[in-house]
Structure 1
Amino acid sequence: MSIGKLLIDDQPHQVLPALAKTIGLNEAIFLQQLHYLLNYSKNHIEGKSWIFNTYEQWQEIFCYWSISTIRRTIESVKTRGLLIATDKFNKMKMDKTKWYTIDYDRLANLDISTVKNNNPSVQNEQSDCSKWTDVSVQNEQSNNQKNTQKNTTQDIKKTTQKKSTALTLLAQFGITEQLAEDFITHRKAKKAPITKTALERLQKQADLAGLPLAEVAEIMIERGWRGFKASWDWQETPQNRSKKSKFDDNDDSWWRGKTIEVRGV
């Protein structure tokens, strides 16, 4: 039998039974996967590693969960004090992305009752359960687990590759670091893919406006624009536009080119 049919090359979603028993299965799965992602995170703030995601981005990782399940799971882990979630690192208030990390000190003090194999009552209970377990059910559960792991790892791999390609492409146009991450999130929300053709069009408009493409990206994110044209009113925000009075004392355009007659002097 081929080893490839028995082992998974990609990173599966694993969880320790003792942790799942203590805080819940979904909570344990989420916490374990977050820990895995934090080990590879390049975002280090206030002495901690962070991962920033929207609920939709979490669903790309946990494709077998609904948005509501993800929201409930995150809130449950936060309530237990094991998860720290904040939006204070976002550059813009309109950004709905949240930053996540684990309170490892709280996790280390978690009271976990580990089941010992040498406990007779536990052994008897396991033996009784195994007698009543239907073989077909076991096979079905095993197949479902394999399919879920396969689909999940494939989705994670595709998402990671897609994001890596976008970051590389943006870097070629001078958009890097946090701005690149924000621009990817913005374009995804607008259902606008990041392609070389799209960036070349934006670069052309940026050149016409006399701006670097990175600044154009910031304007698009701030205004919530899907695209950009040099002819658009991008030089000032609507909040900062001065509302001129209809009878401005400094406006003398009303009399220019007209003959004024003065009587009774």
Structure 2
Amino acid sequence: MNLLINEPPLQVLPSLAAKVGLNEAIILQQLHFKTLISAHIHDGHKWVFNSYQQWQNEFPFWSEKTIKRAIRKLEDDGYIFSTDEFNKYKIDKTKWYRLNYTKLGYLTMGQHDPSNETKCPDTWGQSDPTHEDKLTPSSRDTLTPPITKDIKSIKNNIVEELDIVHEIIGYLNQTALKNFKATTTATKRLINARLADGYTLEHFKCVIDTKVKQWLHNPEMNKYLRPDTLFNATKFEGYLNETQNVQPIQHNSSGPLDLDFSKGEDL
């Protein structure tokens, strides 16, 4: 019996398979690899398109029903997004897919628990961010690409996923129990402006952690756990400097909080 591999193998991490299922992990891995070499960009994201028949050509050891079942499970569990709105003709029902790198990042990087404290940088503000600071879990390639005949096409092409906005908003949503969209133009503008100022992903997480401690359980202040307040140019650095020895605000249960908002927001 020949036990040697004479064709490109599929690779998958056992830890990922244990989390999502073996079939689902194989599909996620292949989607990740295809995303790295995809040239199809919509709404600021790379997308991969395939019909179920085309997926079966890639996974000839599965039936079409098995592939459908695995993909639908990944969709239902929120690991992938899919749509057919990018097809040129309405009659074309080919599906487009992209990975939810925010959810996969929490899964693979151990950040799914918001109670895990973010270690704040020793310095902040106008520091020069390193290359690693700006990389999200997806761009650090936490999912190893499979060895296929197409691997040569990315040897000289360093792919960086510019998904840091989704990472930050995903962290805010999970930590502050919110439901903000990372695709909002104003939100993207705020985050990109702070990144241009030299702040990094860890700085954003520190600000979020600090203000969540102070405001999450305060009915008057909870509403300010939002991007336009937290990432505002005039407030961000001040919030960041509160990360040392921060004490949660105690809500006065004996009476209403006496706050004067007549002069506008000044938090």
TM-score, normalised to structure 2's length? Answer: 0.39
Greater helix percent: which structure? 1
CA radius of gyration, larger in:
1
Structure with greater contact order relative to length (CA < 8 Å, sep ≥ 6)? 2
TM-score, normalised to structure 1's length? Answer: 0.39
